[in-house]
Amino acid sequence: MRRKLPVLSADEQSFEDLIKSYIKSKVGISKHFLNDDLCAHLADNLMALHESMRMDTAGTGNNQEIARNDKVRGDSIYWLDRKHDDPYENEFFDVMDAFIIYLNQSCYTGITGYEFHYTLYEEGSFYKKHIDQFQNDNSRQFSMICYLNEGWLKSHGGQLLIQMEDEEQSITPTKGKTVFFKSNELEHEVLPTKKNRMSITGWLKK
């Protein structure tokens, strides 16, 4: 059951778009969850980290049990943290803080925290089908991916492919778009990309 909320601000309307589409189909999508300027600055941050070789090869599993295999997953990551005191990362965190308040007030989800990292898929890389919740840790409740890609075309590949009950849903990673789904429910994969594919990926946690 959802609590009825008052007239929405522009930011809250994007939150509502994400939640309504999630309730309808188990996959929430908001096309402009992050504004263009913030996306551009975050993309610049990501590429600067990549060029300075500060991003890490991603693995599967958590810190207790992690494995790296480029035949399964080929992206590189860098964890966001308010301690970095980066103005654009902090603006992103402000958006997420506001979204969690809205989500908890309207849907009673009880989310208490989150974790996010920059994600870069270079040309030819991919991520095979998987579920986001660990076998030894169920704290991840919702997965969120915020895309930073300017001028992305379907021909560039890199689609997020989500396995639904009777079909697959293909999502093109265009700038500003955010995807939202339960971490323990839907298998998904990233198809091979033909150019650098950038996002902020993370999880809302209890």
**Distant-in-sequence, close-in-space partners of 100: CB < 8 Å, separation ≥ 6:** 111, 114, 204
Torsion, Cα 139 143 146 151, to 10 degrees, reads 150
* Backbone φ, ψ for residue 117 (5° rounding): -140, 155
Q: Which pTM value belongs to this model? A: 0.91
Q: Is the CB of residue 142 less than 8 Å from the CB of residue 104?
A: no
Question: pLDDT per residue over 126-176, tens digit each?
Answer: 999 999 876 667 899 999 999 999 999 999 999 999 999 888 999 999 999
Q: Which CATH number fits domain 10-205: 3.90.550.10, 3.90.470.10, 1.10.10.60, 2.60.120.620?
A: 2.60.120.620
Q: Across residues 115-122, what is the average pLDDT?
A: 98
Residue 12's pLDDT band (cuts 50, 70, 90)? confident
At 191, give phi and psi (nearest 5°).
Answer: -75, 155
Q: What gap in Å lies between CA 159 and CA 14, rounded to an integer?
A: 22
3-class secondary-structure state, position 49? helix
29, HSE (Cβ side, Cα atoms, 13 Å) = 14
Judged against a pLDDT cut of 70, whether residue 4 lies above it is answered with: no
| Residue of 28 and 68 predicted with greater confidence | 28
